[in-house]
Amino acid sequence: MGAIIEPGIGETIDHVLAMLPDLLPSEQRVARMCAESPDQVIDMSGADLAARTETSPATVSRACQAMGFRGFQHLRLLLVRDLGARAQRESELPEGTAGRLQALSERAADMVRGSLSSVDAESFEAAVEAIATTRRLLIVSTGASAPSAQAVAVKFIIDGRSCEAPADGIVQQLTASVLQPGDVCLAVSESGANSATLAAAAAAHEAGATVIGVTSFARAPLAEHSDLMLIGGARTQAWSSGALAGNLIQVLLLSALQMEVSRRMSEDSARARRAAQGEMMSIGATDDDVPDTDA
């Protein structure tokens, strides 16, 4: 057993998620259960957790030790502590609408805080390199993930990384089918199971392009068509308002990707930002703002 860890108050779940890539598949099931349903896990024994995750008590113990805990009881006590601290914070909130709004904000902040811990650093760096150097970048997404994809497309363009982001799913698939090796398709789907996005990703993969999947689930169908997977938001299912948290986390991950691409393309990005600023100023100008050249 390695060094025993003692996460700070409220940091236990973030630590569990950060350790996920280093665990065996059976151990990951144990870890995910602890991260996604801590309120249930604190009332379980090691045998109960093993039954719920279709593993064994030995696997539960091994998973906990692999994450740096003494064992399941150590992890369980830390979860009890963190949940108690959260309940205490919430009990101190104002009553009524103001309290509910503040509680919503704090829970969203808790989830966003550790949301990128499940992103594989090597895959992220490879995605940045691929997007920064490709001749052609296509962004595909439909449904609830589409606004996040469209927003990052605008940011890419403003920072000098030209891209295509058609809104229609059929146009996305047709465009993906004519990509070439060396081109990049960024496929965004929180569930990783959106049929239109899957079709576009499959078409891009078949055409020989590099497909980068952005989702919340490592075993999503999107992985079958992706060369690189960026997994963010492993905690969104722990909260009944996970749809909101999922959107926030998706924007955070895509923004991180865009900012790293911008840093990689520093000179081009600076020129593009200056040009975009001038263009936006001209778009916002009214006829009264334009100098009279006939005078």
Residue 238 has a pLDDT of: 43
Boundary of a domain, candidates 92, 113, 135:
92
Half-sphere exposure of 37 (CA within 13 A, CB side): 10
Residue at 259 is within a domain: yes
Cα gap 216→37, rounded to integer Å: 16
Measured CA distances, 159 to 52, 131, 155, 264 (Å) = 47, 12, 6, 11
Cα gap 121→18, rounded to integer Å: 11
Between strands 210-215 and 228-231, the pairing is parallel
Cα gap 295→293, rounded to integer Å: 6
Boundary of a domain, candidates 72, 92, 112:
92
Q: How many domains is the chain partitioned into structurally?
A: 2
Cα gap 192→82, rounded to integer Å: 30
Q: Are 83 and 210 found together in one domain?
A: no
Residue 9 has a pLDDT of: 85
Residues in the chain: 295
The answer to whether 215 touches 229, Cβ cutoff 8 Å, is yes
Q: Are 196 and 80 found together in one domain?
A: no
Q: Are 134 and 266 found together in one domain?
A: yes
Cα gap 108→97, rounded to integer Å: 17
Residue 239 has a pLDDT of: 39
Boundary of a domain, candidates 39, 73, 92:
92
Structure tokens at 282: 């001209």
Q: Are 139 and 255 found together in one domain?
A: yes
Residue 75 has a pLDDT of: 96
Cα gap 107→244, rounded to integer Å: 11
Residue numbers of the domain that contains 86 = 12-92
Q: Are 21 and 130 found together in one domain?
A: no
The 184-188 sheet, strands edge to edge: 137-140, 184-188, 210-215, 228-231
Could you list the mean pLDDT of each consecutive 10-residue stretch along the chain, which spans 295 residues?
80 82 90 92 96 96 95 96 86 81 75 73 95 96 94 92 95 98 96 94 98 86 95 55 65 94 80 71 58 45
Structure tokens at 264: 């990689």
Residue 2 has a pLDDT of: 65
Q: Are 139 and 264 found together in one domain?
A: yes
Residue 63 has a pLDDT of: 96
Cα gap 113→139, rounded to integer Å: 26
Q: Are 28 and 138 found together in one domain?
A: no
Structure tokens at 12: 């236990």
Q: Are 161 and 226 found together in one domain?
A: yes
CA 71, chain centre distance (Å): 29
Residue 243 has a pLDDT of: 53
Residue 288 has a pLDDT of: 54
